Amino acid sequence: MDFTEVFPKWFIIAQKPQTANLLFLDQNGVKHVTAEVFKTILQLKRTDFLFYISSATVNRFKEDNSIIKRVPVSANDLDQMNGTNVHRIITEAYRNVIPSEIKYYLAPFSIKKDANVYGLIFGSHHPLGMDKFLRKCWEKDALRGEANFDIDAEGIRLSEPSLFSEMDKPKKLTLFEEELSTDISRQKLRTNKNIYIFALERGFLGKHAKKVIDDLIETGQLPKQSLHISYEAWNKKEPELIKYAKEA
């Protein structure tokens, strides 16, 4: 059946109490997952989804209104779009239409096969779902957790390290560490739970955030302390408060 026939029937079943769902949307369905359909999916409490997108196709026809008008991408984003960053732009576009009252996690992963790039977007209401997805992503891509190829064309090879270690750090990781360090220093993030969610929302794992904490302690920007940054720590009832120098 066509998506427009199947989706309403499926939705009735999916929204029943105590029902859990894993929704697959293949690349042929990109024209159907409009902002409104996406918001409808967000209403389902125990639902994760995998959304496959042919990045090459979207980029090739990005000026075709019959496709783009169905995807919530701005004109400025279209100008910035190329054959490899499509998944990032589309993920961010869907993230921007999530209602403020709904907490939902999205993360992309790109797969290059021959000359084409295919984007995969995973969505989950629950941090554990996103944590599990990101762990698999980082197993496949130890540098950025985002693709099976050098998506930022930085030429970094872990098997052939550079003379200067900073040259082997992806820009994405550098920006994450700088943003997290700044937010901690300005006390925008006050607990280990805040830090863990901060990392997940940017496609990073708890261990990446933990390294930032350790560096801040080592450089004296934070007093010595033990913070646990993981799903297990997030799932505990009581959060761990960040200790600042004046509070030590």
pLDDT tens sequence across 190-241: 999 999 999 999 999 999 999 999 999 999 999 999 999 999 999 999 999 9
CA atoms of 149 and 100, how far apart (whole Å): 34
Indicate whether 120 and 230 sit together in one domain: no
pLDDT at 30: 64
Range of the domain at 211: 165-247
Whether 148 is covered by a domain: the verdict is no
Across the range 29-37, mean pLDDT stands at 76
Whether 155 is covered by a domain: the verdict is no
Q: Is 175 helix (H, G, I), strand (E, B) or coil?
A: helix
pLDDT of residue 170 exceeding 80, the answer is yes
Indicate whether 228 and 121 sit together in one domain: no
Query: If 0-12 CB within 10 Å is exposed, 13-18 middle and 19+ buried, where does residue 47 land?
Result: buried
Indicate whether 95 and 132 sit together in one domain: yes
Whether 159 is covered by a domain: the verdict is no
Indicate whether 29 and 125 sit together in one domain: yes
Whether 200 is covered by a domain: the verdict is yes
Whether 154 is covered by a domain: the verdict is no
Whole-model pTM over 0.95 = no
Across the range 160-173, mean pLDDT stands at 72
Phi, psi of 49 (to 5 degrees): -145, 150
Indicate whether 45 and 121 sit together in one domain: yes
CA atoms of 49 and 25, how far apart (whole Å): 8
pLDDT in tens, 129-153: 999 999 999 999 999 999 999 888 8
Whether 149 is covered by a domain: the verdict is no
CA atoms of 90 and 19, how far apart (whole Å): 28
Number of domains observed in the structure of the chain: 2
- Which residue in 206, 245, 241, 247 sits closest to 222, CA to CA? 245
Q: How many CA atoms lie within 13 A of 239 on its CB side?
A: 12
Whether 153 is covered by a domain: the verdict is no
Across the range 29-39, mean pLDDT stands at 79
Buried b (16+ CB within 10 A) or exposed e, 187-215: eebebbbbbbbbbbeebbbbebbbebbee
Average pLDDT of the chain? Answer: 87
Indicate whether 115 and 194 sit together in one domain: no
Indicate whether 26 and 75 sit together in one domain: yes
Whether 222 is covered by a domain: the verdict is yes
